[in-house]
Structure 1
């Protein structure tokens, strides 16, 4: 896909925006390791949107099928076992999928069924809404949250705001 703004970085890179941290927070460090929770993968909003578009177009890039659309369908449709609590998010492979209403879903209630979303550790959100042929990216870039911050409400509101804008624009 010719990504040039995505990679693994083990040291501070002047071409990248630093992760916002709480003062004196020692939990976020730069590491050369690709193990555990300090993998330091960086991606630009532009290339993250391209990744979403790649999935929206079911693995097709410029008329060439790079990944079979069946693989993309498996990744972006519900694969969660039926035995799980119905209030938990429904998942594909690495994607949260909008299917049945679920109290603990990261995807807003206004989002169309069949949409899918992936989240990053620093609050990055990539939302794909196939019904509207839309990809939306939010680059929050913050490690940790202030006291009282409601993560679920925040990430849902991102998608709901996108849908509200789409609905308003269509009227």
Structure 2
């Protein structure tokens, strides 16, 4: 899918305007299983796991190392300004990492920016732990990857599972909340 105003795909825009200026070499897009990437842990022949062959924006697959995921968090923490160079306007970062969810939504649902979960009001169904302070933001990947940005402490925390699906009885929501709670507990001690 090409964007009408630019004639480029989302993958091309992000690669050229963000990944290249940030010197990302362990991040990109793929449409085939790649022998250079760690395979996703999944049940053999799982009919729910598919690889999109598209890198044009309709169902892109992005890969990223834990190291560069932390850099992605730092990029957002610094509002797009890296080493004195504004890579992306800080207004775009602000929109992405502040609550954009309509007030008419159920207050127990997560509050969202654009692609980021944002800690604002307490919400029972939030992916962000209750100990995580207001103003923090978190992004989740399909295979269990989590990036939590805690601006008050100038901190990014990353975890990577690389696993599709959860074992029987696993409470994903409780687990991802506990990740943030554990980070906050470490900061408080």
Query: Do both proteins adopt the same fold according to a TM-score greater than 0.5, normalized to the shorter chain?
Result: yes
Indicate yes or no: 2:161 matched with 1:153.
Answer: no
Runs of 4+, deviation exceeding 3 Å: 34-37
Any stretches of 5+ residues in structure 2 without a counterpart? 1-21
Higher mean C-alpha deviation, range 28-37 or range 51-60? 28-37
Q: Offset at 1:17?
A: 0.9
Any stretches of 5+ residues in structure 1 without a counterpart? none
State how far apart, in whole Å, the 2-side matches of 1:29 and 1:86 are.
33
State how far apart, in whole Å, the 2-side matches of 1:31 and 1:71 are.
28
Q: Number of paired residues?
A: 167
| Residue from 101, 105, 111 that aligns with 1:84 | 105
| Residue from 65, 76, 98 that aligns with 2:86 | 65
State how far apart, in whole Å, the 2-side matches of 1:133 and 1:103 are.
26
Q: TM-score, normalised by structure 1?
A: 0.92
Q: Offset at 1:3?
A: 1.0
CA offsets per residue over residues 122-141 of structure 1, 9 Å max, x none?
Answer: 01101000011000111111
Q: Offset at 1:57?
A: 0.5
Q: Offset at 1:95?
A: 0.5
Q: Offset at 1:88?
A: 0.3
Higher mean C-alpha deviation, range 47-56 or range 59-68? 59-68
Higher mean C-alpha deviation, range 42-51 or range 10-19? 10-19
Q: Which residue of 1 aligns with 2:41?
A: 20
3-state SS of 2:106 partner: coil
3-state SS of 1:93 partner: coil
Q: TM-score, normalised by structure 2?
A: 0.84
Q: Which residue of 1 aligns with 2:19?
A: none
Q: Which residue of 2 aligns with 1:97?
A: 118
CA offsets per residue over residues 47-102 of structure 1, 9 Å max, x none?
Answer: 11111000000110111111121221111011111000000000111110000000
CA offsets per residue over residues 1-30 of structure 1, 9 Å max, x none?
Answer: 111111112233232111000233132233
CA offsets per residue over residues 114-157 of structure 1, 9 Å max, x none?
Answer: 00000011011010000110001111110011111111101001
